[in-house]
Amino acid sequence: METEFVDWLLANIPADARLEVPPGDDAAVLRPPAMRRTVVTVDMLTEGVDFILDSNCSPHAVGRKALAVSLSDLAAMAARPEAALVAVALPRKGGDAIGRGLFQGFMELATEHGVTLAGGDTNTWDGPLVVSVTVIGSVLPGRAWRRDGAQPGDHLLVTGPLGGSLLGRHLAVSPRCREAVSIAEKFSVHAAIDLSDGLSLDMARMMRASGTRGVLHLADIPIHADAIRMSRSASDTQSPLEHALTDGEDFELLLALPPSEAQNLLAATQNGCVDLQITMIGTVETGSGLTAIHADGACHPLEPKGFLHAFES
């Protein structure tokens, strides 16, 4: 029953000084960090679209991912995670066990990133599992990264290899929260976005928001070993590069920095001062859209592709 499940949840949520009124009341009351701005984001995951509960995907994995994708949004804003609210629609059949697994996976990542669970809501129904997570972060005034600040002349950097996430990395997301906060403290970043829907699609979103054109050097894109494995499948029709450009669910960060700052960040990576595989993959120019440059110097417009939810009339 829902009452027993909620009682179990409340008994297992750790106390946290950031909560003046803890979970269990009609609403939580947060103590915001002094002299910081509040950053809020929400993501919804639906069974059959974002995951399929089976032997390869447990409720524990879903709970972890549900928090991770929202934390990745905070990373794209260089925000420090603070608190989270979770709403779930649990299937009537097996809902209690699913809910407990979700909570354990969620709390595993929450503990790792210092997130307190402030509250939420539970429902049961005859449909699939649906999980909605709202995460609250904080950032110094005027220091939040945005996607609309890329400037002509900026260099474009990505924080890790891309492609092939559906071989399992989409369920083991490592949000770059700590790394983003560390970079923001040391380097000037003009724009940022997390790569949730595919490099080309998310880069196009940054360029559109900034009123600029992105020039992508295809030979420089770091391709994940999973993208190569996927392309070798007999049923796969895409190259490793195509996977890197369009697969999505990589949850790395795309950053636009002035040239000198980009070089300093790359040097910090090579010296071990920044624990990320950061690669420069292009530049920002005047204009609009995306341009791809091949290893032989040939260039052509690049159509943004990636994951988009489809509507039917």
pLDDT value at position 143? 96
| 249/232 Cα distance (integer angstroms) | 20
Domain 155-301: assigned CATH number = 3.90.650.10
pLDDT value at position 1? 65
* Residue type at position 304: P
| 53/63 Cα distance (integer angstroms) | 12
| 173/251 Cα distance (integer angstroms) | 7
pLDDT value at position 72? 98
- The verdict on pTM exceeding 0.85 is yes
Q: How far is CA 278 from the centre of its chain?
A: 16
- The list of the chain residues with pLDDT below 50 reads none
pLDDT value at position 312? 77
Give which of 202, 37, 200, 278 is closest to 192, Cα–Cα: 202
- CATH architecture label of 2-139: 2-Layer Sandwich (3.30)
* Beta-ladder partners of 215: 283, 291
What single DSSP character describes residue 51?
A: B
Residues 110-135: tens digit of each pLDDT: 999 999 999 999 999 999 999 999 99
What are φ and ψ of residue 188, in 5° steps? -90, 110
Q: What are the boundaries of each domain within the chain?
A: 2-139, 155-301
C-alpha distance from residue 155 to each of 57, 152, 285 (Å):
38, 9, 10
pLDDT value at position 268? 93
Residues 59-84: tens digit of each pLDDT: 999 999 999 999 999 999 999 999 99
